[in-house]
Amino acid sequence: MPSPIAPDARPVLRLLPGHHRRVRTGYPWAFSNEIAMTPAARALPPGSVVRLEGDDGVAQGAWHFNPHSLIAARRLDADPDAAIDAGWCAARLAAALRLRERLFPGSAHYRLVHAEADGLPGLVIDRYGDALALQANTAGMEALTPALVEALAGLLAPRVVVARNDAGVRTLEGLPDEKRLLLGTDPVAEVEEGPLRIPVDLLAGQKTGWFFDQRENRARVAQLAPGARVLDAYCHLGGFGLRCAANGAESVTLLDRSEPALALALEAAARNGLAPRVRAERGEAFAVLERLGAAGERFDVVVCDPPAFVKSRKDHAAGLRGYGKMVRLAAPLVAPGGFLFVASCSHHVSPGEFAEQVLWGLGRAGRDSRVLFQGGAAPDHPLHPLLPESAYLKAVLLHLP
C-alpha cells in the first residue's frame, strides 16, 4: 500500500473535457471513464491520494484513487493540498462522534462512521462501548487504516479494534478478505440497545457484529409486542425478537439457519432474563415458514429481515422473486389483526421494486393490508445527499386485518 505523500508531491490527475460539472457540485465520486487515464495514472498504486483537476486546470480537491476500480476516485477533502494523515482522520472522526453523541446521548453503541456521508469514503466503523469494528472497503481506506487506528486510539482509547474486511465490495477494489485484530486482544464485546445487553463476537459474527441500521425499526416493532406471539425470521442474534420479549411478548420464536447465531441469541435471552419466553428453531427460512403455515401456526407479529437476496445486478430478477415468495409464505402466519414487518438490505433493489414484491406476496397469500410505516436505516447511517442510491435499507410495517 502507498505511503503518505506530501501535498506538494501529490500526483495530479485531470478530468476529461466536460466531466468537471458534477464533481464541482460536490459529487463525491469520479468514474474511470471521466478521468484521463494516462500511463502515469494507471501506474499509481491503488489507494494513492491525488489532486484531481478539471480539464481547465481548476483543482477539485484531494481524492483517493484506484486505477483498477470503476469508481476510480473518491473525494476526501475540498482542499487539494490537505494532509491526509492521522490528524486529518482525527478531525473527521471527531465530527462523526459529535453527531452520534447528539443523536444518542448517553450511549456508546452506534455506527460511528458511515462512509461518504461522514466524509470518510469507503469506511465503516461500528462502536460497542470500548470496542470498535472497522471495515475498510476501498484501497484508499485500507492504506489509511494505520492512521485511522492511531486517531481512534487518541479519540476514544478503545480496548479493542477489529478489522472486519470481508465485505464483497472489496473485490471490486482488488482487496482480499481479512478479519484481524488491529488493537487489543479480545474481540468479544457487548451491544446495548434499549433494555438489552447482547454479546457479540466482532471477529466471528456477521458483518461488523450487529445491525445498528434496524435500531429504530426494532423499537417500533417492539411497541406492538405486549402479550403477542412473535416470530423473528432470519433473526441472526435475535434483535427483533429479543426487543419484543423485553417489551412483554408472550412468546418469541427465533428462526435462523445459523446454529452459532441462534446459540448467541439464546445466551442473550438468558442474560436478559427472557429465556422462559424465547425458543429457537434452526432451518432454512422458506422451508420453515412453509411448514409452519401448513401446520396452521399463527403469530401476532411476524418479522422477516433477511440478508441481501440481490448481491449483484445478475441476481436482480431471482432476488426480487425471493422477496415476493418470502411475503407470500410469511403473510399466512400472521393472525387476523396482526402485524408483518419485512425488510430488504439489497443495494440493487429500489424501494418501488421492493414494495411491488411485498404487494405481490400479500396478494398471492390472499391477505388485505394497510401500510403503517415505510422507511430505512437509523440516523447513525446518514445519507450523502448526492448518493441517493446508497440508501440500501427498505423497511415496511403492515397491519393485516
By C-alpha distance, which of 261, 244, 329 is closest to 253? 244
Cell 445491525, residue? 211
Domain span(s) for CATH 2.30.130.10 in the chain: 7-77
Q: Cα separation of 268 and 236, whole Å?
A: 12
List, in sequence order, the alpha helices (H) in 59-214.
86-103, 139-156
Active-site residues, by number, are: 345
Full-model pTM: 0.92
Instruction: Enumerate the CATH 3.30.750.80 domain ranges in the chain, comma separated.
Output: 86-186
CB 175 within 8 A of CB 161: no
Q: In the numeric block, which cell numbers belong to residue 368? A: 388485505
Q: Running DSSP on this structure, what letter comes out for residue 4?
A: P
Q: How far apart are the first and last CA of the chain?
A: 58
Predicted confidence at residue 6, as pLDDT, reads 55
Q: What is the DSSP string of 249-271?
A: -SEEEEEES-HHHHHHHHHHHHH
pLDDT of residue 8: 60
CA distance 273 to 277: 9
Cell numbers at residue 96, please?
A: 462523526
Q: Residue 45 has which C-alpha cell?
A: 498504486
Cβ-in-10-Å burial (0-12, 13-18, 19+) of 106 comes to: exposed
Res 95: pLDDT: 98
DSSP 94: H
Cα–Cα distance measured from residue 387 to residue 383, given in angstroms and rounded to the nearest whole number: 7
Q: Does domain 211-400 have CATH number 3.40.50.150?
A: yes
Closest C-alpha among 313, 399, 319 to residue 354: 319
pLDDT number for residue 310:
87
Topology, domain 7-77: 2.30.130
Contact indicator for 266, 242 with CB cutoff of 8 Å: no
86-186 topology per CATH: Transcription Regulator spoIIAA (3.30.750)
Mean pLDDT by 10 residues, the chain (401 residues): 58 94 94 96 97 94 97 97 97 98 97 98 97 97 98 98 92 93 95 93 79 96 98 95 98 96 94 97 97 98 94 86 96 98 93 95 97 96 93 96 97
The predicted structure's pLDDT at residue 389: 83
Domain with CATH 3.40.50.150 in the chain: 211-400
**pLDDT confidence of residue 7:** 58
Q: How far apart are CA 260 and CA 243, in angstroms?
A: 20
